[in-house]
């Protein structure tokens, strides 16, 4: 593959000739970086996206399960046509512990399973079609904030790239984040894509979740692609303990081999620094991840919508210059990027995760009992789970016993 994804650079060049635009450099060609780049390029911005990997979407480090909220962001018909959506999930089975005699509750849902490689490549292609330039196998080695320069290694060559606005969409170990002293705590997500052996089958429309005190506020999962192919995984804070618990989970399904799809999951913090002058972080680099589930696709894409709108507004005001960077960009862009509903949602997920970590074994069992309530099941099915504030209020009204767990939020 050429170092650029395709050959649509003429589109971007024509835009630049019409009017001088701010040069926006995005580090990281994952789904969030490409979605942001696509929106900016479509509006006429001069966008360059740099990616260290040689292929978009690989290796896979995601369960691939997302809510239908994605349909408000992307055209679901295209996702089906391109075979990006590979399965529909109709219920989640929440189990206390992994043994066969455990206590469980089945909740109706309407989620989808995506092929993450195809999903990422689709967004990259959209970005390219809209005029963004994507450079693969380009690894950032240094950033000079005072000169607005990024130094990048490609093959045996060092390149200097200038920018007006720099966006770090480069994951939990973001080099852009480290350059603005943005500290990040990560947990470990271990996953394997495996084929079930004879005698072991799953319902392809049921997503299994395993909760337990020993998981320290996190959980294990079995996500079906088909009746015979699953994505089995677990996330946790301590890598040694997480590996041990993951082996126990695999043993229950007689999994001995498969395709490893593990990676770091950022822990959200409302105090995390996600911007400095004309440098911004987004997606996993900004820890825009739900602490309860480890899901970051929908929050990251919502953040991309917010940031792109502000940058596009900025473009319409006046051409970019250093004085404008230091003052007006700070005033008009910074506050709006942080003070949004998304931040409140992510903070609520953080609080819930902290509460789960304090719960006892008997409280986990009580939660399973509460989840069997028909009113609870109805609310969880009908309400948007990406709007946690409204969801939790309705759950507390429907099942007052859940108030018993509020003490863990303190």
pLDDT, tens only, 268-283: 999 999 999 899 999 9
pLDDT at 266: 96
In the chain, residues under CATH classification 3.50.50.60 are 9-58+118-184+272-345
Determine the pLDDT at residue 148.
95
Write out the H or E segment, with its range, that includes residue 8: none
Contact 63, 191 (CB under 8 A): yes
According to CATH, where is 3.30.9.10 located in the chain? 87-114+185-266
Per-residue pLDDT tens digits for 351-372: 888 888 888 888 888 888 888 9
Rounded to an integer, the average pLDDT of 316-331 is 52
Residue-wise DSSP of 52-99: SSSSTT-S--S--EE-GGGGGTS-HHHHHHTT-EEEEEEEEEEEESSS
Task: Provide CB contacts within 8 A for 124, sequence distance 6+.
Answer: 5, 29, 34, 56, 57, 134
Kindly tell me the burial class for residue 35, based on how many C-beta atoms sit within 10 Å of its own C-beta (0-12, 13-18, 19 or more). buried
pLDDT of residue 190: 95
Q: Is 241 exposed, middle or buried (0-12, 13-18, 19+ CB in 10 A)?
A: middle
**For the residues 141-154, what does the mean pLDDT come to?**
95
- Total-model pTM: 0.88
Each residue's pLDDT tens digit, 293-322: 999 999 999 999 999 988 887 776 554 455
- Mean pLDDT estimate for the chain: 86
pLDDT tens, position by position, 219-230: 999 999 999 999
Q: Residue range 70-84: average pLDDT?
A: 87
Q: For the CA atoms of 58, 63, 69, 74, what is the dihedral angle to 10 degrees?
A: 20
Dihedral pair phi/psi, residue 88, rounded to 5°:
-115, 130
The top-level CATH class assigned to 87-114+185-266 is alpha beta
329 pLDDT tier (thresholds 50, 70, 90): low
Distance (Å, whole) CA 381 – CA 91: 9
What are the tokens at 360? 């006892």
pLDDT for res 92: 94
> In this predicted structure, what is the pLDDT of residue 328?
57
Q: How far apart are CA 68 and CA 234, in angstroms?
A: 23
How high is the pLDDT of residue 12? Answer: 40
Instruction: Give residue-wise pLDDT tens across range 247-271.
Output: 999 999 999 999 998 899 999 999 9
Confidence at residue 286, expressed as pLDDT on a 0 to 100 scale: 96
Higher-confidence position of 27 and 202: 27
pLDDT for the residue 86: 93
Alpha helices (H) along 156-273: 175-179, 239-252
pLDDT digits (tens, 9 = 90+) for 165-188: 999 999 999 999 999 988 899 999
CATH architecture, domain defined by 9-58+118-184+272-345 = 3-Layer(bba) Sandwich (3.50)
Torsion angle of alpha carbons 137, 142, 143, 149, nearest 10°?
A: -70
Residues in the chain: 410
Which residues make Cβ contacts (< 8 Å) with residue 291, sequence separation at least 6?
Answer: 267, 268, 346, 349, 350, 352, 353
- Which pLDDT does position 406 carry in this prediction? 61
How far apart, in Å, are the Cα atoms of 281 and each of 164, 169, 230? 15, 6, 33
**pLDDT score for 410:** 54
Q: Residue 13: is its pLDDT beyond 60? A: no
Q: Which two tokens stand for residue 287?
A: 């820890």
Q: What letter does residue 268 receive in the DSSP assignment?
A: P
Q: Is the dihedral of CA 223, 343, 384, 38 positive or negative?
A: negative
| Closest CA relative to residue 139, chosen from 17, 23, 50 | 50
Q: How many CB atoms lie within 10 A of CB 15?
A: 18
Confidence of residue 100 (pLDDT cuts 50, 70, 90): low
Report which listed range, 5-14, 92-101, 234-243, 331-340, is most confident: 234-243
> Rounded distance, CA 388 to CA 409, Å?
15
Closest alpha carbon to 285 in 145, 176, 136, 148: 176
């Amino acid at each position: 593959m050429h170092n650029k994804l395709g050959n649509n650079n003429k589109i971007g060049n024509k835009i630049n000739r019409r009017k001088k635009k701010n040069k926006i450099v995005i580090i990281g060609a994952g789904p969030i970086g490409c979605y942001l780049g696509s929106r900016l390029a479509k509006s006429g911005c001069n966008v360059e996206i740099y990616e260290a990997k040689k292929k978009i979407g690989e290796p896979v480090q995601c369960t691939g399960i997302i809510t239908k909220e994605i349909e408000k962001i992307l055209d679901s018909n295209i996702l089906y046509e391109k075979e990006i959506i590979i399965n529909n999930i109709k219920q989640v089975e929440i189990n206390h512990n992994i043994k066969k005699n455990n206590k469980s509750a089945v909740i109706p849902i309407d989620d989808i399973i995506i092929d993450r490689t195809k999903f990422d490549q689709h967004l990259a292609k959209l970005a390219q079609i809209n005029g963004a330039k994507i450079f693969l196998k380009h690894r950032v080695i240094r950033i000079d904030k005072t000169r607005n320069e990024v130094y990048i290694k490609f093959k045996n060559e060092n390149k200097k790239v200038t920018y007006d606005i720099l966006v770090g969409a480069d994951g939990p170990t973001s080099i852009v984040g480290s350059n603005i002293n943005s500290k990040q705590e990560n947990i470990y997500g271990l996953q394997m894509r495996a084929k079930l052996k004879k005698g072991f089958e799953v319902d392809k429309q049921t997503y299994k979740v395993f909760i337990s005190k020993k998981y320290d506020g996190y959980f294990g999962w079995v996500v079906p692609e088909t009746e015979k192919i699953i994505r089995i995984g677990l996330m946790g804070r301590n890598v040694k303990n997480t590996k041990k618990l993951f082996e126990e989970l695999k043993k229950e399904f007689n999994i001995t081999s498969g395709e490893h799809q593990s990676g770091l999951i950022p822990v959200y913090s409302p105090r995390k620094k996600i911007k400095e002058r004309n440098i911004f972080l987004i997606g996993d680099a900004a820890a825009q991840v739900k602490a309860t589930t480890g899901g970051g696709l929908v929050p990251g894409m919502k953040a991309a919508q917010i940031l792109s709108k502000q940058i596009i507004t900025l473009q319409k005001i006046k051409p970019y210059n250093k004085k404008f960077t230091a003052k007006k960009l700070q005033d008009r862009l910074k506050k709006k990027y942080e003070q949004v509903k998304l931040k409140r949602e992510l903070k609520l997920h953080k609080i819930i995760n902290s509460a789960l970590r304090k719960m006892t074994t008997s409280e986990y069992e009580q939660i399973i009992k509460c989840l069997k309530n028909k009113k609870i099941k109805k609310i969880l099915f009908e309400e948007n789970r990406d709007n946690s504030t409204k969801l939790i209020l309705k759950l507390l009204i429907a099942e007052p016993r859940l108030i018993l767990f509020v003490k863990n939020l303190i």
